[in-house]
Amino acid sequence: MPEDARKLTEQQAVQLIAAMEQHAAEAPVLELTPENWEAEFGKDGKVQTPIGEVKMGEHQQAKLTLRNRTDEFGMIKPTLANPDVVVEKYAPHKNSERDTKLLFIKTFMDGRGEKYTHFESITVKKDGLEVSISSHIAEKKAVAKELTLGTTAYFRSELNSNSSELYLAENQNKNNGLPNLVSTQEDNPSPKDKGTKIPETTKNNTKNPTR
């Protein structure tokens, strides 16, 4: 990874997950059918995300059925289209054009507001496109670990509203095959969420990551 890549501390990861749970959306319930899949992702299997367009990988629909995870289908598009956080992690993948993968993470709650579900969609770069290769429920401890080991590339600005001590990293990766995450947010701001980046005064206090 480039020298200016940064990670979260364990305390920041805990704070971020708490904020994700506080702002959790109700988990959508959507039957997995060919018609609903096309309604979610279109005939070309693509979805717009904070970092640009992501294409659903081959066999993703079949994997949900074969692995008896069809009840997770409704969480895939919201996780990609409006993630709580996007993490870049060093993880070479076969046929990928980049030696890192992106983890789109979003927290949902059940209809009674009693149980949280942390959901994760993973993308790699293939043929010039960001491609989703896996979507699944993740344990809370696993999410915390990913947040401290990977580089925080993007997070929803609402998640920082209740904690002035939570500083998350702006992604400044250049010439490594990643989209320009920060300029994507600035050039195409959403009225609800423009994303958040680390204050300039904190940048010199962060150590370089190791793979």
Q: Taking all residues of the chain, what is their mean pLDDT, rounded to a whole number?
A: 78
Comparison of pLDDT for 195 and 112, the residue scoring more:
112
Comparison of pLDDT for 134 and 158, the residue scoring more:
134
Measured between alpha carbons, how far is 167 from 54 in angstroms, rounded to an integer?
27
DSSP symbols for 122-146: EEEEETTEEEEEEEEEE-HHHHHHH
Give helix 73-81 / helix 34-41 axis angle, nearest 10°.
10
Task: Read off the pLDDT of residues 177-202 as tens digits, 9 standing for 90 and up.
Answer: 444 443 333 333 343 444 443 333 33
Joined tokens for residue 158: 């609402």
Measured between alpha carbons, how far is 82 from 155 in angstroms, rounded to an integer?
10
Residue 113: pLDDT band by 50, 70, 90 thresholds? confident
Helix (H, G, I), strand (E, B) or coil at 140: helix
